[in-house]
Amino acid sequence: MSLLLQTQALSLSFGAIVAADSIDFELHEGERLAVIGQNGAGKTTFINICTGLVRPDSGIVMFDGKAITGKSPREIVRLGMARSFQIPQLFMDCTVRQCLELSGVARQKKLSLVTNLSMANDSTELDHILELVGLRDRQHELCENLPEGQRKLLDIAMSLMLRPRLLIMDEPTSGVSTEEKHSIMEILMRALDEQKTTSIFVEHDVDIVKQYATRVAAWISGAVAADDSPEIVLADPLIQKEVLGI
């Protein structure tokens, strides 16, 4: 499978804190990579750098063979890399459907003060995404009324509207019950498979990692301490001690 995302010697410090410590990383098309690591290990920082939200002090990010270091998040989304956030970033006073419509016009660069959101979107595509993430029944609900699990799914659905080749999800199951975690992951993986989207997801729950990842990268102090199959990384004594706390 072809190389989709690559970083070379990616570094970033915040004062004395080394949040990214010379990270060399590769992701191939079709992978489902789980990123694990203790709080503050640098997982979100890595995502922020790759998606253009934060500039590294040094190093390179390549996406699909092109250097994208320093490009804006908008440019990076248009190249095919999207993300969801640790805390869902929704338009709280919009309905579920309107949020997806906004994402759709963002992809098509059509948004202006006079854009008619529903006319600017393909309603069949919208219905399909709503169906995929199980939110069709709630499409006219205001976001502020959604429980956390459905907010997470909507945040991801908004990313899917951008039709990314790579979707990076920062803790898609945080803040929900154990049972709900599994149903969110089932919905998510089905949607990603259908759209043939490669994915990275940050996850603290080992059961979820075992069940859904094809590969695991473990972060310690801003660096990738292990990167291999779930079986190998989760059985690594250093990772068990420093990351999993067992």
Ligand X SMILES: Nc1ncnc2c1ncn2[C@@H]1O[C@H](COP(=O)(O)OP(=O)(O)OP(=O)(O)O)[C@@H](O)[C@H]1O
Positions touching ligand X (CB under 6 A) are: 14, 17, 19, 37, 39-45, 86
Minimum CB distance to Mg ion, residue 37 (Å): 9
If the CB atoms of residues 101 and 219 are measured against Mg ion, the closer one turns out to be: 219
Question: For the chain, what is the largest distance between any 2 Cα atoms, rounded to a whole number of angstroms?
Answer: 58
Q: What is the b/e burial string over 141-177, where b = at least 16 CB atoms within 10 angstroms of the residue's CB?
A: ebbeebebbbbbbbbbbbbbbbbbbbbbbbbbbeebe
Q: Does 197 bind Mg ion (CB under 5 A)?
A: no
Q: With CB cut-offs between 5 and 8 Å by kind, which of Mg ion, ligand X, none does residue 42 bind?
A: ligand X
If the CB atoms of residues 14 and 74 are measured against ligand X, the closer one turns out to be: 14
Minimum CB distance to Mg ion, residue 171 (Å): 7
Stretch that binds Mg ion, among 35-43, 173-181, 188-196, 217-225 (CB under 5 A): 35-43
Closest residue to Mg ion, Cβ-based? 44
Integer Cα distance of 144 and 164 in angstroms: 26
Residue among 164, 185, 187 nearest 78 (CA): 164
Number of residues that bind Mg ion (CB under 5 A): 2
**From 6, 44, 84, 198, residue interacting with Mg ion (rule: CB under 5 A):** 44
If the CB atoms of residues 44 and 121 are measured against ligand X, the closer one turns out to be: 44
Residue among 61, 80, 89, 79 nearest 5 (CA): 61
Integer Cα distance of 24 and 85 in angstroms: 23
Minimum CB distance to Mg ion, residue 107 (Å): 26
Minimum CB distance to ligand X, residue 187 (Å): 23
If the CB atoms of residues 43 and 138 are measured against Mg ion, the closer one turns out to be: 43
Binding site for Mg ion (CB under 5 A): 43-44
